Chain A
Amino acid sequence: MTRGRGWGLLAPSLLLLLVAFLVPVGMMVPTSFRPYVPLVGITRGFTAGHYVKLVTDLYYLEIIGRTLALGFTVTLLTLVIGYPVAFFLARSRSRWRSWLTILVVFPLLLNLVVRTFGWIALLAQNGLVNQALRALGLVDAPVKLLFNFAGLLIGMTHIFLPFMVLVLIGAIQNIPRDVEDASRVLGASWGATFVRVTLPLSAPGILSGSILVFVLAISALVTPRLLGGPTYRVMSTLIYDEFLQRLNWPAGSAQALLLTVMVLALILISGILARRVGARV
């Protein structure tokens, strides 16, 4: 077979990526250095001001910090909540196993706007969660669960949990059960076996799952916008407003490129880490 035909078959996909992905993203670099004058628009010249503002202005630093804090907390929560579920699904011999796995996939494939809308109904002032809290006598006044960190955290943990569980199932399935049995036979307790055998052997999955969830969480637009409203901003909703409301494309481009660099840096770091623990990210 000729090598040329291989490239011929790849050509449509590669051309698509070049024209509709690499070039457009690359073209944001020059835009991000153009000055922007309110009521006039993008003007000629060169400025690094949009970047300087991003890393010095407290308003932007708070949004960047909030985005990262949210990404980190969501990752940690999905890992803690999801690990036992993945362990159960990876080890279960039940004939319902594949249907239970499908039940994890279902929310993942369900429209993101619909899932987020469900959380609005749950977390609103008179929502189900506040009704339950008051019925149980835990609170007197409704707790504010929308347009703040708590709301975004709950909603996004729900949105990204299936990703974590699915990655972990794969990793735990790859651990030979013999290794755990050997540890038990040699006298280790269940707890010691879990901490010193199972957990370290699933480290590659923990790393890939965490990077995936973190990257998706800091890039998420729909859930933070709907649960955070127009005022409680994260990086992607900031970019959204900059492009569609304020029409300051140069500043928006700088913010978008910063988010891109953060994502790429994370993937790069995880690649280096992965080589240490033998993971595939």
Chain B
Amino acid sequence: MTAARVRAWLLRAWVALVFGFLLLPVVVVVLASLSRTSYLTVPPRGVTFRWYAVVLRDPEYVNAIGFSLALAGVATLCSLVAGVAASYALIRWRVSGGALVSALLNAPLIFPGVVVGVALLQFYALVRFNGTFAGLALAHMVITVPYVVRAVMASLQGIDPEIESAARVLGASGPVAFFAVTLPLARPGIAAGALFSFIVSFDNVPVSIFLLGAGQMTLPVKIFTAIEYGVDPSIAAISTMLIVATGLGLAAAERWIGFHRFV
């Protein structure tokens, strides 16, 4: 029994070390944002919140946040409509070639983002669609729809089709049965898909960076170019805001829908 206990403690120690490794860069960013120095240093020298004020007063950052939120919102809403419809078709109608269709729908998940980005850069330039918000949103949808489809399909699979049939027998029309019965039951999957979609769109760099037109800037691309220009604590401050927002969103999603089931 002692050997087993030693193993159990060794395993726990390893797990603790790995969690430390996973969270190390996050902690470092938060600490770096507090430094009084104008250069990046960890541990921070002194404590100040002035870098947060610097970021929030910078119109470039504020505009980028607004633009990213709008883009992620539009891409997510459109992805939800397209993705829920596709998942429902794949689960309930067993379309011929369904396996091929879902493989195709999932393809952008493992397809190199940079290739999607440069392909669309060239294509949009050719059809004079470059620099448009709609073009950017469509590009984001290519990578967000698969996340919606995956989460919603997981949810729909757990719903007995007989429930919807019962609604039909009781006189509900097809759409009513779908919107009043199936859709509410699939809510956790739809919420998880929406969250994934929003985060994936909000965070995207490899596709956005090739498609942003003059006057357009997303937050991650703004941070990306700021880092290439030179690092300072203001980048740590905006990063910390993203860390806090992501943490709160994830904790809320776990409490409400048991988010870990959809990962």
A85, B14: Cβ atoms under 8 Å? yes
Interface residue? A279 (CB, 8 A): no
B29, A21: Cβ atoms under 8 Å? no
Number of A residues, CB within 8 Å of B: 87
A9, B88: Cβ atoms under 8 Å? yes
Q: Given that A7-B89, A13-B86 are contacting pairs, would A98 and B112 also be in contact in the complex, using a CB cutoff of 8 Å?
A: no
Residues of chain B in range 4-44 having any CB-CB distance to chain A below 8 Å: 4, 7, 11-12, 14-15, 18-19, 21-26, 28-29, 32, 40-43
B41, A126: Cβ atoms under 8 Å? yes
Number of B residues, CB within 8 Å of A: 87
Measured in the bound complex, the distance between the Cα atoms of B260 and A99 in whole Å is 8
A239, B4: Cβ atoms under 8 Å? no
Measured in the bound complex, the distance between the Cα atoms of B227 and A260 in whole Å is 28
Interface residue? A222 (CB, 8 A): yes
Interface residue? B170 (CB, 8 A): no
Specify which chain B residues have a CB less than 8 angstroms from the CB of A98 in the assembled complex. Answer: 254, 258, 260
Please report whether the interface of chain B is mostly helix, strand, loop or mixed according to DSSP: helix
Interface residue? B82 (CB, 8 A): yes
A267, B112: Cβ atoms under 8 Å? no
A54-62, A175-183, A212-220 - interface stretch: A212-220
Q: Given that A25-B119, A28-B118, A120-B231 are contacting pairs, would A111 and B18 also be in contact in the complex, using a CB cutoff of 8 Å?
A: no
Interface residue? B65 (CB, 8 A): no
Specify which chain A residues have a CB less than 8 angstroms from the CB of B105 in the assembled complex. Answer: 13-14, 17
Interface residue? A121 (CB, 8 A): yes
A21, B26: Cβ atoms under 8 Å? no
A-B contact pairs, 27 of them (CB 8 A): A1-B93, A5-B93, A10-B89, A10-B90, A13-B149, A16-B145, A25-B116, A27-B122, A89-B15, A98-B260, A99-B254, A101-B263, A103-B19, A105-B260, A106-B250, A108-B263, A109-B199, A110-B243, A113-B224, A113-B239, A117-B236, A122-B28, A212-B110, A240-B209, A249-B118, A256-B118, A260-B112
